[in-house]
Amino acid sequence: MKKHSFAPRSLLLAGAMLGAFTLSAAAQQPAAAPAAGAAPAAQPLPPGSPLIGRPDNEAAAKLAPVAPPPLPSAPDKLPLAKLKVPAGFNVEVYAAGMANARSLALGDKGTVFVGSRLVDKVYAIVNKDGKRSVKVIASGLYRPNGVAFKDGTLYIAELSKVSKIDKIEDNLDNPPKPTVIYDKLPKDEAHGWKFIAIGPDNKLYVPVGQPGNNVLHDADHGQIRRMNLDGSGAEVYALGVRNSVGFDWNPETKQMYFTDNGRDWLSETVPEDELNRVTKAGEDFGAPFCYQGNIIDQELGWGKNCKDYTAPVGLMGPHTASLGMRFYTGSQFPKGYKNAIFVARHGSWNKSQKQGGDVVVVKLNKDGTAKSMEPFLTGFLEDNKYVGRPVDVMLLKDGSLLVSDDWNGAVYRVSYGKPKVANQ
């Protein structure tokens, strides 16, 4: 009965739409255009589609990107009891209730800034009189994943622009709106969200990912740019970068290291995500032609040679989504961790048996290449399902390590020695 009552309306509508489309299509495409609504025979997937390159089999068809729950977990529902750290280390909840908590930045006065990707907010974890609280300091932003802090100013990277708030820590209760400093950025959704950081050269580093899984693109994509802190003087610093969501500088050599996510669908075991080192401006790291330093892409790599690109200094596992990374420059952890790199691996979606979903520690050889990779914070992956997903890592002044988790909207703190409450 119900169907009868709406059928005529929807038929009418369909008719009207079909008519309109036919007319407009005919008007715009005079010659050899296909009939309106006709499906061209072998149309490729859209450039940004995560399904590009998907093999046609049942196991592959089950895999799709995993979206986190929208609501942050209540503090008592966090998976804290499941998390494991090496002997002598402790893990605690530092702050909770921040939906989709992503990248981390530390203010001079101890405020921790937290970006987000799937909501519109930047949070501040404020330490005052020995108490911690969470404030929203900016909202209405579009995919504000990246945050960086320098000399009192907070920098925020949205999908296609970078803005700043001066003297942020003096205005946490009533912060002014961010002021845009740079917006000459593409607007692609795929790999468009940004991690940002400020280098030892006092420049702001801003990545622009490749706009899809495995695509040829123009000169505005697939790179890391750097610019002055007012947004001027932007230049391309690194090329052949597929999607970097974390970087830091070696405290000894001052060289930039960055993680890069390998392409999907090539296989369950390769390519591995990369840990790269930039030794000079303008280096090319190979994507989308060469992955992990030794795999020529089966589709786009014809006529290319991996020797023409800078190979990674370390491999981070296939599809593990290695994101935030920082060198350990603190003194709280045992000596073996000095100048090692902590890397947050968000965890795979493009693998039947999920891998990653942890924080690992990468120790380096004297020549700056990776010597070892060991698990550090684990337990986020349970029965091939995520109970949490690490995104970024960051040191506090006391040498303890913060870890953000966008699945639960929380930040954890890992410390070494006799457990005590965070104190900066």
Choosing from 8, 44, 303, 336, the residue that interacts with another protein (CB under 8 A) is 44
Close Cβ partners of 242 (under 8 Å, ≥ 6 residues apart):
191, 209, 210, 222, 260, 261, 262, 263, 287, 288
Task: Look up residue 349 and give its amino acid.
Answer: W
Eight-class DSSP state of 60: H
Distance, in Å, from the CA atom of 363 to the CA atom of 322, rounded to the nearest integer, reads 16
**Cβ 116 to another protein shortest distance, Å:** 11
Question: Dihedrals φ, ψ of 128, to 5°?
Answer: -145, 125
| Cβ distance to another protein smaller for residue 24 or 365 | 24
Close Cβ partners of 264 (under 8 Å, ≥ 6 residues apart):
50, 52, 53, 54, 213, 214, 319, 350
**Cβ 49 to another protein shortest distance, Å:** 5
50 binds another protein (CB under 8 A): yes
10-18, 168-176, 287-295, 352-360 -> range binding another protein (CB under 8 A):
10-18
**Cβ 79 to another protein shortest distance, Å:** 18
| Cβ distance to another protein smaller for residue 14 or 216 | 14
Residue closest to 358 by CA, chosen among 65, 72, 83, 117: 83
Subset of residues 135 to 164 that bind another protein, contact rule: CB under 8 A: 142
**Cβ 315 to another protein shortest distance, Å:** 27
**Is the bond leading into 271 cis (omega within 30 degrees of zero)?**
yes
| Cβ distance to another protein smaller for residue 3 or 366 | 3
183 binds another protein (CB under 8 A): no
Choosing from 80, 93, 118, 229, the residue that interacts with another protein (CB under 8 A) is 118
Residue closest to 137 by CA, chosen among 160, 157, 156, 118: 156
Distance, in Å, from the CA atom of 40 to the CA atom of 352, rounded to the nearest integer, reads 32
| Cβ distance to another protein smaller for residue 122 or 359 | 122
119 binds another protein (CB under 8 A): yes
Choosing from 27, 115, 168, 212, the residue that interacts with another protein (CB under 8 A) is 212
Helix (H) / strand (E) containing 8: helix 2-28
**Cβ 237 to another protein shortest distance, Å:** 25
**Cβ 3 to another protein shortest distance, Å:** 7
Choosing from 108, 151, 170, 189, the residue that interacts with another protein (CB under 8 A) is 189
Distance, in Å, from the CA atom of 149 to the CA atom of 137, rounded to the nearest integer, reads 14
Eight-class DSSP state of 139: -
Beta-strand runs (E) in 143-286: 146-150, 153-157, 162-165, 179-182, 197-198, 204-208, 223-227, 235-239, 247-249, 256-260, 272-278, 283-284
70 binds another protein (CB under 8 A): yes
Subset of residues 341 to 360 that bind another protein, contact rule: CB under 8 A: none
| Cβ distance to another protein smaller for residue 28 or 174 | 28
**Cβ 186 to another protein shortest distance, Å:** 13
The pair of three-digit structure tokens given for residue 258, joined into one six-digit string: 């960055």
216 binds another protein (CB under 8 A): no
133 binds another protein (CB under 8 A): no
**Cβ 4 to another protein shortest distance, Å:** 10
192 binds another protein (CB under 8 A): yes
Choosing from 32, 59, 67, 81, the residue that interacts with another protein (CB under 8 A) is 67
12-20, 88-96, 319-327, 330-338 -> range binding another protein (CB under 8 A):
12-20
* Total of chain residues touching another protein, rule CB under 8 A: 43
**Is the bond leading into 288 cis (omega within 30 degrees of zero)?**
yes
**Cβ 301 to another protein shortest distance, Å:** 23
Beta-strand runs (E) in 97-218: 101-106, 112-116, 122-128, 131-138, 146-150, 153-157, 162-165, 179-182, 197-198, 204-208
Task: Look up residue 98 and give its amino acid.
Answer: M
The residue with tokens 């300091």 is 137
Residue closest to 393 by CA, chosen among 412, 416, 375, 379: 412
The pair of three-digit structure tokens given for residue 424, joined into one six-digit string: 């900066």
Choosing from 55, 71, 334, 417, the residue that interacts with another protein (CB under 8 A) is 71
Choosing from 120, 166, 284, 299, the residue that interacts with another protein (CB under 8 A) is 120
54 binds another protein (CB under 8 A): yes
Residue ranges binding another protein (CB under 8 A): 2-3, 5-6, 9-10, 13-14, 17-18, 21-22, 24-25, 36-39, 43-51, 54, 61, 64-65, 67, 69-71, 118-120, 142, 189-190, 192, 212
